[in-house]
Amino acid sequence: MDMETNKQRGGCLCGGVRYEVRGELRSVVGCHCSQCRRTSGNYVTATNCGLDDLVLEKDATLRWYRSSETAERGFCGVCGSNLFWRPIGGDHLSIMAGTLDIPTGLRVTKHIFVADKSDYYDLNDNAEKHAQW
């Protein structure tokens, strides 16, 4: 991360979507809900920023899927990379942490929906754990 200008960049696997965050990113949260597990193949690790802080530099392949009555997920229509989650009508956006260019300077500080996590892994880190959210 460019600490002087507080900018972070990222994108999808094929390069069809590139973005820049111009502002603060929240620490990383691991979400173990069934929707996140199904869209990613595992649990999701995501950071968060205000909608006004995200600049899409390249978005021709960005697609949105309304995954529930209250949220939608952004992904690349070419390579399938899971990029974003946003609440309908919200003022923020979650960014999948693995899509950020490294170094990120971020750390996992919390796990949510751990009551819904799969049975093939354990959570052995020191991050906060919440059964739901």
CATH number reported for the structural domain that contains residue 88 in this entry? 2.170.150.70
Residue 1's pLDDT is: 45
Residue 106: give the domain boundaries: 7-114
CB atoms within 10 A of CB 111: 21
Residue range 59-92, pLDDT digits in tens: 999 999 999 999 999 999 999 999 999 999 999 9
105 is a domain residue:
yes
Residue range 22-63, pLDDT digits in tens: 999 999 999 999 999 999 999 999 999 999 999 999 999 999
67 is a domain residue:
yes
Burial 84-102 (b: 16+ CB within 10 A, else e): bbbeeeeeebbbbbbbbee
76 is a domain residue:
yes
Residue 104 CA to its chain's centroid (Å): 13
pLDDT band at 120 (very low <50, low <70, confident <90, very high): very high
Q: How many CA atoms lie within 13 A of 13 on its CB side?
A: 8
pTM of the model: 0.91
For residue 13, pLDDT beyond 50: yes
pLDDT band at 6 (very low <50, low <70, confident <90, very high): confident
Share of the chain above pLDDT 70, in %: 96
Residue closest to 103 by CA, chosen among 31, 44, 36, 25? 25
Residue 17's pLDDT is: 99
Residue 4's pLDDT is: 39
Contact 56, 21 (CB under 8 A): no
Number of domains within the chain: 1
131 is a domain residue:
no
